[in-house]
Amino acid sequence: MRDFAQLFASLDETNKTNAKINVLKDYFISVPAEDKIHTLALFTGRKPKRQINATLVKTWAIELANIPQWLFEESYQVVGDLGETIALLLPDGESTHGKSLAEFIREMNDLNTLTENEKKIWLIDSWTSMTRQERFVFNKILTGSFRVGVSQSLIVKALSEISGLNPAVITHRIMGNWDPATFSFHDLLQEEDGSDDASRPYPFCLAYAIQETSDKSKSAEEIAQDLGDTIEWQAEWKWDGIRAQVIHRKGEIFIWTRGEELATEKFPELHDFILSLPDGTVLDGEAICFAENKPLPFNVLQTRIGRKNLSKKILAESPMAFIAYDCLEFAGDDIRSMPFKHRRSVLEKLHQINPHQDTFQLSAIVQFDTWQELFDLRLQSRENHAEGFMLKKLDSIYQTGRKRGDWWKWKVDPLSVDAVMIYAQKGHGRRADLYTDYTFAVWDGDKLVPFAKAYSGLTDKEIKQVDYFVKRNTLEKFGPVRTVKPELVFEIGFEGINRSTRHKSGIALRFPRILRWRQDKKIEEADTLETLRAML
């Protein structure tokens, strides 16, 4: 555990990519094999199951820290991270446990056989045998909130430098359904892929936005300059569903989401069509609610994704389909390095022979001869229930991760209104102890009605200015939330708007964020609820 805590501290101690890679390499070379694979599991989001709930962890920490509960809660508000708060509040300790990361994780996994009191003894013993830095990392693992400050691509790069394997190969091998207790680090870095994991998905090919923000709208001419001849490109609508890979291998089926979550059970409607695909097929596409030959808004899908049990009612109200746009594996062969045009024809054949045409949809190709034509069509995205276009180069391979050049997303400009900030709350992590989470309101008669929360879109400097304003213009405090004097106006952008019975304003926004701070506007000039309703 000492090595792992030190690794974490060392990664924290530099902002330079190369230095971080060196730290990772040194670590992976020096620790025991068991710790290597557990570290890799943690760094790729494979957390041990949480065995003690956060309330108990908190209660026992408060006891050991010997402070009132309210002071613990307020400390948490300041720190913005539970694991770190506990690590800071407990009395100072020395590292006396002598256990490795793997041993601690094994103990955590075995906690479910213990009584509550035994768990408490284990936790307090563990805490008191650790330094503050070890405790922090330990708490993060224990509470299932472990996240690292390094991207997966950096870890892949370090492993690639150690093994001499191509980064794309490693990215692929560390995907899927593996368990650090059985997966071998040694095999992972072998020349030949030794895995027989039928569920393993491919790394998703991701697109960059061709216009970075809505401020920098691009004309058809500019797009033409960036992308060249239209003949080399294919355009498809960009759907607002859940990006997913469907797999049929060795008689089994798997559905993976873009967040590397195995979601096979969440979409039972899709099982039949996947089973009808020839064995050894992997498709990339969008899982989306779909009825009467058209996609339904995202909020319909939202009502079912969080649920454990899919009732008949839910299934009836939110029918699923899969809009397929690529084929990555055919007849058991990885075909990602074939040109897109070829993969598309394979996909079309698979679609043609599939008996489940209702749930297996093919992403339609949008016909266009000039970029201007496409530009005009894009303005109709919302009527077509799409977010804009995906532009894909016909001769491109299926890339690993986000690469510039072959795939682009060209989104429609967001909808927007001017709104008044009325509540503020402190953020977490990098934004801890700063007021960064705001609630915005529009006018309904002479009242301001809250309609959206937004966290992002301001620069660090603007955040500091708004924080300064909030601290000096607080009208009331409700726990962590401050009501502030209505004075600051912001332009709020969003991708879609729907009716909602759960919100006071009667509307719910899709992906709201701050587009800009309107320092030139007075609160009287903010928009009204009427304006928003007119967008429904």
Partner 1 sequence: MGKPLLQFNDCGIYCAAGNFYIDPWKPVDDAVITHAHSDHARWGNKRYLAHHLSREVLKYRLGTDIQLQTVEYGERIQKNGVTISFHPAGHIIGSAQVRVEHKGEVWVVSGDYKLEDDGLSTPFEPVKCHTFISECTFGMPVYKWKDPSLVHQDINDWWRLNASEGRATVIAGYSLGKAQRIMHHLDLSIGNIFLHGVIANTHEALERNGIKLPAATRITPEVSKDEFKTGIIICPPSALGSPWIKRFQPFAFGYCSGWMALRGAKRRMAADRGFVLSDHADWDGLIKAIDATGCECVCLTHGYTASFSRYLSERGYNAHEAHTYYGGDEATEEDELPVEVLNEQGGVIGGTSNESEEVL
**Selected binder of partner 1 within 305, 365, 469, 505 (CB under 8 A):** 469
Q: What CA–CA distances, in Å, run from 282 to 279, 328, 341, 393?
A: 9, 5, 17, 20
Q: What CA–CA distances, in Å, run from 404 to 171, 315, 386, 425?
A: 18, 39, 23, 37
Kindly state the smallest distance separating residue 151's Cβ from partner 1, in Å: 15
Kindly state the smallest distance separating residue 526's Cβ from partner 1, in Å: 15
Task: Decide if residue 22 touches partner 1 (CB under 8 A).
Answer: no
Nearer to partner 1, 187 or 460 (CB): 460
Q: Specify whether the CB–CB gap between 129 and 97 falls below 8 A.
A: yes
**Selected binder of partner 1 within 81, 260, 329, 527 (CB under 8 A):** 81
Kindly state the smallest distance separating residue 58's Cβ from partner 1, in Å: 14
Kindly state the smallest distance separating residue 290's Cβ from partner 1, in Å: 42
Kindly state the smallest distance separating residue 428's Cβ from partner 1, in Å: 7
Which span (39-47, 408-416, 438-446, 458-466) binds partner 1, by CB under 8 A? 458-466
Sheet of 233-239, strand order: 208-209, 407-411, 386-393, 233-239, 365-366
Kindly state the smallest distance separating residue 430's Cβ from partner 1, in Å: 4
For the window 246-275, what string marks contact with partner 1 as x by the rule CB under 8 A? ------------------------------
**Selected binder of partner 1 within 24, 61, 79, 412 (CB under 8 A):** 79
Q: Specify whether the CB–CB gap between 463 and 115 falls below 8 A.
A: no
Nearer to partner 1, 294 or 461 (CB): 461
**Which residues from 475-534 bind partner 1, rule CB under 8 A?**
487, 519-520, 522
Q: What CA–CA distances, in Å, run from 190 to 27, 39, 162, 181?
A: 19, 18, 11, 18
Nearer to partner 1, 466 or 508 (CB): 466
**Selected binder of partner 1 within 15, 55, 367, 501 (CB under 8 A):** 15
Kindly state the smallest distance separating residue 49's Cβ from partner 1, in Å: 25
Long-range contacts of 424-431 (CB under 8 A, 24+ apart): 424/466, 424/470, 424/481, 424/482, 424/484, 425/480, 425/481, 425/482, 426/77, 426/78, 426/80, 426/480, 427/80, 427/455, 428/80, 428/81, 429/80, 429/81, 431/80, 431/463
Task: Decide if residue 147 touches partner 1 (CB under 8 A).
Answer: no
Task: Decide if residue 128 touches partner 1 (CB under 8 A).
Answer: no
Taking the C-alpha atoms of residue 299 and residue 28, their distance in angstroms, rounded to an integer, is 43
Nearer to partner 1, 130 or 346 (CB): 130
Taking the C-alpha atoms of residue 234 and residue 162, their distance in angstroms, rounded to an integer, is 39
Nearer to partner 1, 49 or 461 (CB): 461
Taking the C-alpha atoms of residue 385 and residue 377, their distance in angstroms, rounded to an integer, is 13
Task: Decide if residue 145 touches partner 1 (CB under 8 A).
Answer: no
Taking the C-alpha atoms of residue 214 and residue 412, their distance in angstroms, rounded to an integer, is 8
Task: Decide if residue 89 touches partner 1 (CB under 8 A).
Answer: yes
Task: Decide if residue 16 touches partner 1 (CB under 8 A).
Answer: yes
Instruction: Collect all residues with Cβ–Cβ distance below 8 Å to 375 and sequence separation of at least 6.
Output: 219, 220, 223
Q: What CA–CA distances, in Å, run from 289 to 236, 308, 316, 358?
A: 18, 18, 11, 12
Kindly state the smallest distance separating residue 472's Cβ from partner 1, in Å: 4
Task: Decide if residue 78 touches partner 1 (CB under 8 A).
Answer: yes
Which span (66-74, 114-122, 250-258, 394-402) binds partner 1, by CB under 8 A? 66-74
Which span (102-110, 375-383, 393-401, 429-437) binds partner 1, by CB under 8 A? 429-437
Torsion of CA 225, 228, 234, 240, to 10 degrees: -20
C-beta neighbour count of 306 within 10 angstroms: 7
Kindly state the smallest distance separating residue 156's Cβ from partner 1, in Å: 23
Taking the C-alpha atoms of residue 409 and residue 225, their distance in angstroms, rounded to an integer, is 16
Nearer to partner 1, 18 or 311 (CB): 18
User: Using CB under 8 A as the criterion, which residues of the chain lie in contact with partner 1 when the complex forms?
Assistant: 12-16, 65, 67-68, 70-71, 74-75, 78-81, 84-85, 88-89, 92, 149, 428-434, 460-461, 464-466, 468-469, 471-473, 487, 519-520, 522
